[in-house]
Chain A
């Protein structure tokens, strides 16, 4: 294929805008506005507009889908960056076409995770002042502060990472980029010289190494599960397995989301030759592997929870196993795994849409599982003497609109970004930088 043709392909999103684009944009905007309205209600009246309540004598649960959504988005974000770092570090060049999509997804998803923390709070106006003022002390003790710290760190890391690889591309493609966005490109490439490529390549490699080491150990295998796993008050949360369990959720939901994104861009811009079937096939395999690990760790929890567990753990596990919502999540993953496994054994079973459907299934199942985990944990506390324990929880439309709104905002984010920068790296079609 000729380089020039491919470059034009790559830049197609920046130059052509279809009717479907605008339809999607408007739809996403409407959903976002519904959420904005719902949140304005919450700001005015307080968290009473949610389905949350006090646990214990109060008969409710105090953390719900906001926390579930937070954990879910963080998972997608962290999985996204791990995927892209793996591409750079282990030279898994097959996936280079989706590396930048994964990075962008990380930025978008991290923003949504931050948003969910803020809307979860009773006094969002104080979040910056109160947290900073107490930081030197709380960083030693509060898992929530660890989360905020690590998420900020990752936001900066991912941003740097993305910028470094972007500068090269923008410089190379400058002539073909839309003129009206010139100021943006000037800003993005400020101080760029071609000699920087070598240095930034090294830097990107080191950043990738840092991410690969830190992300699994510290992030979704660390501070995020520790938010729950360190609290003996809730037996459904407590325990060492949550680290690896959360990590499998991060990886599966990230791969699932990347599959969806990749298909959307491939369809919209006719990128069959850029994001090939091969990419989907490979991602499907990884998704299957991590889905299997997810199920295996669920099994660990169930077995230890039913065999000879202490009373509180036993009750929490029994309640979980009797809840259809849990099985919806588990069977969702089992179904996806069954299809992906068949595909691995019999390559002819592969289908593009089937793989993406498996991805969507897993992403949905993990959102359900995570919210269920948060809520069910609070329904079965160690101290269950209260008549109103287990509590009840049904998310209100305000809360559900936040989930829909966050999805819509990520869609808008991609719709806009696709008009500004190439969402597939130049390397993906041209190989490494020629020196």
Chain B
């Protein structure tokens, strides 16, 4: 594990990269992208073959100069990809089409495959039923979660900053927290733990909440209803991971400055952005994004992941863990293939990874404090911190990213100010 970062290639499951790929060919990029998306819908049964054919036949013939219904070839190959993990291109080739044809539509075909692989969350959700292979009991509905590849993290804290800019939490209320640590039992000096809320399937924080303010949505997101929370902080005490951050004073960013589309989720409950005074906040996994309130293109994304991708690190992979084609599940399969040379079944999901009995041949995956029975929905790839691991300073400070590491320092200033109320009369403010 010492030759870490360089050995790990960039994930192919990114729309931008796909676009680049298509742009490198001589063919029309937009057409390729469109085609790829619709191919996915065709397979999902949302689009009839007739419509698909009418929509693209002409354009394809013009563009690629092939008159042999390459669309159906792509679609068939794509469909087969879902039932048989044999190589996609081999399947294309084995048909009645010549290698030449295949190569000609290669750009579009790659697009179709990659888009399918990338599987936007919106599609994943809509396609939930038709995609799920019926024999896996876990695969009913959406279950948002993350795969975080710790080997790819370099501690830049970009995710922390992005989350703060998106959610406006107080300095030090690090909904996303990244810690570098050292562990006696290992020699390598650069280990990171990226710690959002785990959105546990069996969340102790929810269990203890005396008012059901802390609750789990149908899609697995564990949220606080800011309109109900009484600020008892029992959730914070019961959560073994320490991901909750209370709103001790008046928020620095006033209510009027928050985007109303970014406070109430699709059920119209106030669960997103920083909490109001006296209630509990934590990483939300961006429910207003998932509900499409911030635009369709943000569905299936979270701010921290976007930033991580932007920085070129691609350590965070958010998506529907129940969907074999979601970004996190795809990423895990690809990662294993890289590491072991063996290709996992095409519908292997995060759950299968965690259950596999041949761990030593696999990549190192773990869930944090799994023995506590919380069933966390964040799956890590990389080293697991041992019981004697200790946090050390990372390469980038929290101050440099607009936050602060130890929140108590900020709070104590506020507490002092409040304990000397005449300071307040002069217009002092907390944080």
Chain A interface (Cβ within 8 Å of chain B)? Answer: 41, 45-60, 62-63, 120-124, 126-127, 130-131, 133-134, 137-138, 141-145, 148, 231-234, 311-312, 378, 381-383, 385-389, 391-392, 396-398
Contact status B408-A142, CB under 8 Å: no
- A48-B414, A141-B208, A233-B238 known; A382 vs B369 contact (CB < 8 Å): yes
Contact status A122-B231, CB under 8 Å: yes
CA–CA, A47 and B280, complex, Å: 12
- A130-B228, A131-B230 known; A144 vs B208 contact (CB < 8 Å): yes
Contacts of B388 in A (CB 8 A): 311
B178 CB to closest chain A CB (Å) equals: 10
Contacts between the two chains (Cβ within 8 Å), count: 200
Contacts of A127 in B (CB 8 A): 230
A141, A232, A233 pick with most chain B CB within 10 angstroms: A233
Residues 211-245 of chain B: 1 if any A CB is under 8 Å from the residue's CB, otherwise 0?
11100000000000000111111101111111111
- Interface residues of chain B: helix, strand, loop or mixed (majority): loop
Contacts of B406 in A (CB 8 A): 57-59, 387-388
Contacts of B193 in A (CB 8 A): 385
Contact status A134-B246, CB under 8 Å: no
Say yes or no: is B387 at the interface (Cβ < 8 Å to chain A). yes
Contacts of A45 in B (CB 8 A): 249-250, 414, 418, 424, 430
Contact segment of B3-11, B52-60, B148-156, B169-177: B169-177
Contacts of A142 in B (CB 8 A): 207-210, 234
Residues 369-413 of chain B: 1 if any A CB is under 8 Å from the residue's CB, otherwise 0?
100100000000000010111111000000000000111110110
CA–CA, A238 and B64, complex, Å: 68
The 5 closest A-B pairs by CB, nearest first: A122-B231, A56-B242, A122-B278, A48-B249, A233-B240
Count of chain B residues with Cβ under 8 Å from any Cβ of A?
A: 65
A38 CB to closest chain B CB (Å) equals: 9
CA–CA, A55 and B248, complex, Å: 13
CA–CA, A312 and B369, complex, Å: 12
CA–CA, A240 and B212, complex, Å: 27
Contacts of A141 in B (CB 8 A): 207-208
Q: A47-B249, A62-B233, A232-B240 are in contact. List 15 more A-B contacts (CB 8 A).
A: A47-B246, A48-B414, A53-B408, A54-B242, A122-B246, A123-B229, A123-B230, A126-B228, A126-B229, A134-B210, A138-B211, A142-B210, A231-B238, A233-B372, A312-B387
Listed A/B pairs (28) with beta-carbon separation below 8 Å: A41-B419, A41-B421, A45-B430, A46-B278, A48-B248, A48-B249, A48-B415, A53-B248, A57-B172, A58-B245, A59-B408, A62-B236, A62-B246, A63-B233, A122-B229, A122-B231, A122-B232, A122-B279, A124-B230, A134-B210, A144-B210, A231-B238, A381-B242, A387-B392, A388-B405, A388-B406, A389-B242, A397-B419
**Closest chain B residue to A315 by CB distance?**
B387
